[in-house]
Amino acid sequence: MSEARTQILTSIRRSLKRDSASPEMVSTVENRLKAHARNLVPQRSNLSPSDRIDLFVSMATEVAATVERLPNLSRVPHAVADYLASQNLPAEVKVAPDPQLATIPWDKRPTLTVTTGRAADRDLTSVTAAFSAIAETGTLMMLSGPEHPTTLNMMPDTHIVVLRADQVVGSYEDGWDAVRRRDKEMPRTVNFITGPSRTGDIEQTLQLGAHGPRRLHILLIDGPSV
């Protein structure tokens, strides 16, 4: 295989009519990779925090997500149970093993069955947090990790996301800055999720829930904590 590697790299250099790259070229590339400079970021999301949240809500709603605003985390069990009832769904949720979600007083709605872990095939509804949310297009940003298995984003029919208002940023670039501020390696998976799963593959008519969730319900928490 290393022979193929050498040949491909040689072929590139031959086509570009040069030998290995000059020191200037190497430093151009190194600097660009280190700087991660932003290109043009659309003005659309350059807003005050409250307008930014409004933009997020309207963009998410436009792509068929639903958004419910709650004053604090203690309202989450009621909101989840009421939402499931309104959709005629069983009162069972698989919750991500996230420390913040663990502080939710789930026992306030004893009829709601709560388990934690990754998603299994039979799980109908998941509850996860989000790492961040992008106002520009109403997009949720999810990082995989022990506290957020990716399967919870993708397998259940219904995905409920608990998002704090202060996590809503303007642009994807703001999201990347937040990822880098963690000062950890890239997670295995970064999911940008914009509305529920959909397909237009049959006669270009929009159908929700192709393989991923049919419903994406966002609980937007205005207050900072319980």
Partner 1 sequence: MQSTSHAFKDNAHGALADERLQKALGKMKVGFQDKRTRAVARLPEFDTLRDQSRDIKNHVLEHLDLYLERFEANVIANGGKVHWCRTPGEARDAIVEICRSVDARIVTKGKSMIAEEIELNDHLEKNGLEPVETDLGEYIIQLRKEAPSHIIAPAVHLNKEDVAESFMKAHDKLDPNRSLEEPRALVNEAREMLRQKFLAADVGITGANFLIAETGSTVIVTNEGNGDLTQTLPKIHIVLASLEKIVPTLEDATTILRVLARSATGQEFSSYTTFSTGPRRPGDLDGPEQFHVVLLDNGRTAMLGTEFQEMLRCIRCGACMNHCPVYGAVGGHAYGWVYPGPMGSVLTPGLIGVQEAGHLPNASTFCGKCESVCPMRIPLPKMMRHWREREYEKKMSPQAFRNGLGIWAWFAKRPDMYRLGSRIAMGVLGMLGRRKGKFRSLPLAGGWTDWRDMPAPEGKTFHQLWAERQQGKASTGAATTASSSSDRKAA
Q: How far apart are CA 163 and CA 133, in angstroms?
A: 8
Question: Phi and psi of 80, rounded to 5°?
Answer: -65, -50
Whether residue 114 contacts residue 106, with contact meaning beta carbons closer than 8 Å, is answered with yes
Residue 198 Cβ vs partner 1, minimum distance, rounded to whole Å: 5
- Burial call 115-145: b when 16+ CB within 10 Å, e when fewer: ebeebeeebebbbbbbbbbbbbbbbbbbbbb
Whether residue 145 contacts residue 100, with contact meaning beta carbons closer than 8 Å, is answered with no
Residue 65 Cβ vs partner 1, minimum distance, rounded to whole Å: 10
Q: Is 184 helix (H, G, I), strand (E, B) or coil?
A: coil
Q: Which is nearer to partner 1, 72 or 207 (CB)?
A: 207
Residue 78 Cβ vs partner 1, minimum distance, rounded to whole Å: 28
Residue 75 Cβ vs partner 1, minimum distance, rounded to whole Å: 28
Binding of partner 1 by 187 (CB under 8 A): yes
40-48, 50-58, 70-78, 81-89 -> range binding partner 1 (CB under 8 A): 40-48
Residue 106 Cβ vs partner 1, minimum distance, rounded to whole Å: 20
Q: Could you give the dihedral angle defined by the CA atoms of residues 12, 15, 19 and 21, in that order, rounded to the nearest 10 degrees?
A: -60
Binding of partner 1 by 210 (CB under 8 A): yes
Site for partner 1 in 91-110 (CB under 8 A): 97
Place of tokens 């190497």: 26
Taking residues 111 to 130 in sequence order and writing x for each that binds partner 1 by CB under 8 A, - otherwise, the string is ------xxx-x---------
Binding of partner 1 by 158 (CB under 8 A): no
Binding of partner 1 by 151 (CB under 8 A): yes
Find the binder of partner 1 among 45, 126, 132, 150 (CB under 8 A).
150
- Please report, for residues 18, 35, 60, 154, the alpha-carbon distance to residue 27 in angstroms, rounded to integers and kept in the order given: 17, 12, 41, 41
8-16, 86-94, 100-108, 124-132 -> range binding partner 1 (CB under 8 A): 8-16
Binding of partner 1 by 199 (CB under 8 A): yes
